[in-house]
Protein backbone atom coordinates (compact mmCIF):
# COMPACT_ATOMS: atom_id res chain seq x y z
CA UNK A 1 0.00 0.00 0.00
CA UNK A 2 1.32 3.44 -0.87
CA UNK A 3 0.16 6.33 1.23
CA UNK A 4 0.57 9.93 0.22
CA UNK A 5 -0.73 12.91 2.16
CA UNK A 6 -0.20 15.71 -0.31
CA UNK A 7 1.47 16.49 -3.57
CA UNK A 8 5.07 15.33 -3.61
CA UNK A 9 7.35 18.39 -3.36
CA UNK A 10 8.42 18.00 -6.99
CA UNK A 11 4.89 17.49 -8.32
CA UNK A 12 3.63 20.42 -10.42
CA UNK A 13 -0.05 20.05 -9.48
CA UNK A 14 -0.90 23.30 -11.22
CA UNK A 15 0.38 21.77 -14.48
CA UNK A 16 -1.68 18.56 -14.18
CA UNK A 17 -3.69 17.85 -17.33
CA UNK A 18 -6.49 15.43 -16.40
CA UNK A 19 -7.61 14.65 -19.97
CA UNK A 20 -4.03 13.91 -21.06
CA UNK A 21 -3.44 11.66 -18.03
CA UNK A 22 -6.74 9.85 -18.70
CA UNK A 23 -5.74 9.29 -22.33
CA UNK A 24 -2.45 7.73 -21.19
CA UNK A 25 -4.28 5.45 -18.74
CA UNK A 26 -6.65 4.38 -21.52
CA UNK A 27 -3.74 3.62 -23.87
CA UNK A 28 -2.07 1.45 -21.22
CA UNK A 29 -5.35 -0.39 -20.60
CA UNK A 30 -5.70 -1.01 -24.33
CA UNK A 31 -2.20 -2.51 -24.38
CA UNK A 32 -3.03 -4.68 -21.37
CA UNK A 33 -6.24 -5.95 -22.99
CA UNK A 34 -4.92 -6.26 -26.54
CA UNK A 35 -7.23 -3.54 -27.87
CA UNK A 36 -10.07 -1.37 -26.64
CA UNK A 37 -12.82 -3.24 -24.84
CA UNK A 38 -15.64 -1.72 -22.85
CA UNK A 39 -15.65 -2.65 -19.21
CA UNK A 40 -13.03 -4.63 -17.38
CA UNK A 41 -11.46 -3.22 -14.26
CA UNK A 42 -7.70 -2.74 -14.52
CA UNK A 43 -5.61 -2.46 -11.36
CA UNK A 44 -3.96 0.92 -11.03
CA UNK A 45 -0.81 -0.72 -9.65
CA UNK A 46 -0.54 -2.83 -12.83
CA UNK A 47 -0.91 0.28 -14.96
CA UNK A 48 1.85 1.97 -12.98
CA UNK A 49 4.12 -1.06 -13.42
CA UNK A 50 3.79 -0.71 -17.19
CA UNK A 51 4.40 3.04 -17.09
CA UNK A 52 7.47 2.49 -14.90
CA UNK A 53 9.05 0.29 -17.59
CA UNK A 54 9.74 3.37 -19.69
CA UNK A 55 13.24 4.70 -18.91
CA UNK A 56 12.25 8.32 -18.28
CA UNK A 57 9.06 7.46 -16.44
CA UNK A 58 10.56 4.81 -14.17
CA UNK A 59 13.32 7.09 -13.08
CA UNK A 60 11.25 10.25 -12.54
CA UNK A 61 7.74 9.04 -11.70
CA UNK A 62 7.23 7.38 -8.35
CA UNK A 63 4.25 5.30 -7.29
CA UNK A 64 3.50 8.13 -4.85
CA UNK A 65 3.37 10.62 -7.74
CA UNK A 66 1.14 8.27 -9.74
CA UNK A 67 -1.21 7.89 -6.76
CA UNK A 68 -1.45 11.66 -6.44
CA UNK A 69 -2.21 11.97 -10.18
CA UNK A 70 -5.04 9.43 -9.77
CA UNK A 71 -6.39 11.57 -6.92
CA UNK A 72 -6.21 14.68 -9.14
CA UNK A 73 -7.97 12.78 -11.93
CA UNK A 74 -10.72 11.88 -9.47
CA UNK A 75 -11.08 15.56 -8.51
CA UNK A 76 -11.25 16.59 -12.20
CA UNK A 77 -13.38 13.63 -13.35
CA UNK A 78 -15.93 15.58 -15.44
CA UNK A 79 -13.33 17.82 -17.08
CA UNK A 80 -11.19 14.82 -18.03
CA UNK A 81 -14.15 12.90 -19.46
CA UNK A 82 -15.42 15.89 -21.44
CA UNK A 83 -12.04 16.80 -22.94
CA UNK A 84 -10.90 13.25 -23.70
CA UNK A 85 -14.24 11.81 -24.81
CA UNK A 86 -13.72 8.85 -22.47
CA UNK A 87 -16.19 7.68 -19.85
CA UNK A 88 -14.52 5.95 -16.93
CA UNK A 89 -15.04 4.70 -13.42
CA UNK A 90 -12.41 4.84 -10.68
CA UNK A 91 -12.86 2.00 -8.18
CA UNK A 92 -12.18 3.48 -4.77
CA UNK A 93 -11.39 0.08 -3.22
CA UNK A 94 -14.69 -0.19 -1.37
CA UNK A 95 -14.90 -3.97 -1.55
CA UNK A 96 -13.64 -5.46 1.70
CA UNK A 97 -12.24 -8.49 -0.13
CA UNK A 98 -9.54 -6.41 -1.79
CA UNK A 99 -6.07 -6.66 -0.32
CA UNK A 100 -4.81 -3.37 1.09
CA UNK A 101 -1.53 -4.02 -0.73
CA UNK A 102 -3.39 -3.49 -4.05
CA UNK A 103 -4.60 -0.04 -3.05
CA UNK A 104 -3.21 3.41 -3.61
CA UNK A 105 -4.10 5.48 -0.54
CA UNK A 106 -4.18 9.26 -0.73
CA UNK A 107 -5.17 11.75 1.93
CA UNK A 108 -7.23 14.44 0.24
CA UNK A 109 -6.77 18.16 0.74
CA UNK A 110 -9.81 17.94 3.04
CA UNK A 111 -8.06 15.33 5.20
CA UNK A 112 -10.10 12.34 3.99
CA UNK A 113 -8.34 9.05 3.27
CA UNK A 114 -9.17 7.87 -0.24
CA UNK A 115 -8.39 4.36 -1.50
CA UNK A 116 -7.99 3.69 -5.23
CA UNK A 117 -7.95 0.19 -6.68
CA UNK A 118 -8.61 0.31 -10.40
CA UNK A 119 -10.02 2.05 -13.42
CA UNK A 120 -12.64 0.88 -15.87
CA UNK A 121 -13.26 2.53 -19.23
CA UNK A 122 -16.93 2.25 -20.07
CA UNK A 123 -17.47 3.88 -23.49
CA UNK A 124 -17.00 7.15 -25.27
CA UNK A 125 -18.54 9.97 -23.27
CA UNK A 126 -22.05 10.85 -24.36
CA UNK A 127 -22.75 14.45 -25.41
CA UNK A 128 -24.25 16.58 -22.66
CA UNK A 129 -28.05 16.74 -22.76
CA UNK A 130 -29.80 20.09 -22.62
pLDDT in tens, 37-92: 666 788 999 999 998 888 777 678 889 889 999 999 999 988 888 888 888 889 98
Q: What is the pLDDT of residue 39?
A: 67
**Is 81 domain-assigned?**
yes
For residues 95 and 115, which has the higher predicted lDDT (pLDDT)?
115
Q: Beginning with the edge strand found earlier in the chain, give each strand of the sheet holding 104-107 in spatial order.
A: 2-4, 104-107, 113-116
* Residue 12 covered by a domain: no
Choice among 31-35, 43-47, 80-84, 112-116 with the minimum mean pLDDT: 31-35
In a domain, 74, yes or no: yes
pLDDT given at position 12: 55
Kindly state whether residue 117 falls inside one of the protein's structural domains. yes
* pLDDT band per the 50, 70, 90 thresholds, residue 10: very low
CA distances from 95 to 31, 44, 86 (A): 26, 15, 25
Is residue 130 domain-resident? no
CA distance 14 to 39: 31
Asked whether residue 52 is domain-assigned, the answer is yes
What's the number of domains the chain is made of?
1
pLDDT of residue 66: 93
Q: Is residue 127 part of a domain?
A: no
Q: Do 75 and 13 touch, CB atoms closer than 8 A?
A: no
**Residue 116, domain extent:** 2-6+18-121
Work out the mean pLDDT of the chain and round it to a whole number.
Answer: 78
Task: Return d(Cα 70, Cα 45) in angstroms, integer.
Answer: 11
Mean pLDDT in residue range 6-28: 73
Cα-based torsion angle of the residue sequence 30, 31, 33, 34 in order, rounded to the nearest 10 degrees: 100
Whole-angstrom distance, CA of residue 64 vs CA of residue 72: 12
Q: Which has the higher per-residue pLDDT, 100 or 111?
A: 111
* Residue 115 is assigned to a structural domain of this protein: yes
Amino acid sequence: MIRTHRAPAWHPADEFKPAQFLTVLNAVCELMLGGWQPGGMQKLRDIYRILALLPQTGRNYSLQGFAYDVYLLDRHHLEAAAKSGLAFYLDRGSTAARKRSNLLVVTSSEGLELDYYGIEFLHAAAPAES
